[in-house]
Chains A and B, each alone.
Chain A
C-alpha cells in the first residue's frame, strides 16, 4: 500500500493498534484509568482506550459501553471485563477488572481505616458533612440531566414509571427486588408498545 499523503493521514482517524494488549498492559491501563477517574471514570476510559492506546474505535467503544450500561451492576466494572476478555479471554477480563478495582479499593480501605480512627474528630466530621451535601447535589443534577430527553420526547408514561419508582424507593423505602419485579415488566411493556407504535 502506498504511504498516504500527510493531508489524507490527518483527515482519517489514526489506525487501531494491530497488536492486542497483553495482560499486564490491560491491568496497567485500567489501573491508570481508575486512579485518574475522580467524579466519573468513563471519560478517562474512553480517552485511554480510544485515543491513547487505540485499542478500539470510537464506535466500538460506544457500542461496548451501551451494552455494559444496559446490564445491571457497576457499568464501568462491566466494561473492564467485557473489554479485557475481548482481547485476552477470561484472563484478560480478570486483569482489566483487577486493574480497575484493585488499586482504588486499596486506597479506599486505607481511608476506611483512617475514618474508623478519626471519624469522631470534629473538623473531619464537619468536612465530610459538607462533602455529603455537595454529593447529594451532584446526584440530583445527574437526575435532571438524564430526565431531560424523556421530557423533551414527552414520554409521559415512562416519566410516570420514573416517578413511581422514586416514590416506592425514596419515600416508601420499599425493598428494591419487589419494586423492580413490578416496575420492570410495566416499563418494558410500555417501551415495547411505543416501539411498535412508531415502527
Chain B
C-alpha cells in the first residue's frame, strides 16, 4: 500500500487550510506557499517558484492566481483548478457568512480591534514575501540593484506596476540580470 498521499490531495488540503490563514491576502501567503511547495514537498525548484510568482504578477486578475501555477506544476490542469478552488472557497464561504451576520447585527467593537491587530501581521508577512522572492530571484548584484530601484520607484511615484515588471523583463532579456 502506498503510504504517500496523492499530490492532488496534498495540494487541495494545503491550500484549503492556507485560504483561512492568509491574513492580508494572497501575497502575504507567499512565504507559506514557498515553504510548502519548495521546502516541504519539493513540488517546485526555487527558480520555478520565482517564475510562477513573476507570471502571476504579469497576468491580469487577482494575485491569488500564483496558486493556479503551483497547482499546474504539481498535477497539470486538475491541479491548477483544484488548488485555485481550494484557496478561494473556504474564505469565500467565511466572507459570505460574516457579511450576512454583520449586516444583521450591526458592527461591534471587535472588528475594529481585530482589524488593527491584523495590520502588523500582514505587513510582516508581506515583508517576508519580499525577502523570499528576492532571495529566489536575485542571483547577482545587478539583480539586487534592480529590486532596490523598483522598490524606490514604486514607493516614490505612481507608476503603473506593470511598466516596472515589463522593464524588468526587458533588462532580463537583454542579459543584464
Contacts and interface: CB of A to CB of B under 8 A. Distances in A.
B125 A107 contact: no
A136 B98 CA distance: 33
Interface residues of B, number: 108
Interface stretch (A4-12, A48-56, A73-81): A73-81
11 contacts: A70-B114, A107-B59, A109-B72, A129-B177, A130-B146, A130-B177, A133-B147, A162-B127, A169-B124, A169-B125, A176-B35
B155 A73 contact: no
A162 B120 contact: yes
Contact of A158 (B120, B153, B167): B120
Give the 5 A-B CB pairs with smallest separation, nearest first: A130-B172, A73-B91, A104-B61, A137-B150, A165-B124
Interface string B90-128: 111011101110100000010111111111111111111
B164 A137 contact: yes
A20 to B, nearest CB: 15
- Interface SS of B by simple majority: helix
A137 B151 contact: yes
Given A126-B177, A135-B168, A170 B121 contact: no
A97 B167 CA distance: 32
B14 to A, nearest CB: 11
Contacts of A116: 72-73
Contacts of A170: 31, 127-129, 131-132
A192 to B, nearest CB: 5
A66 B73 CA distance: 34
B121 A78 contact: no
B31 A109 contact: no
Contact of B20 (A41, A73, A93, A169): A73
Nearest to A137: B150
Contacts of A38: 58, 60, 160-162
B113 A195 contact: yes
A85 B93 CA distance: 11
B11 interface: no
A179 B63 CA distance: 23
A25 interface: no
Interface string A80-98: 0110011000100100010
Contacts of B39: 173
B1 to A, nearest CB: 28
Given A77-B88, A130-B170, A138 B124 contact: no
Given A73-B19, A132-B133, A170-B131, A176 B172 contact: no
Contact of A139 (B72, B87, B115, B133): B133
A161 interface: yes
Contacts of A144: 151, 155
Given A39-B160, A129-B139, A73 B25 contact: yes
A100 interface: yes
B64 interface: yes
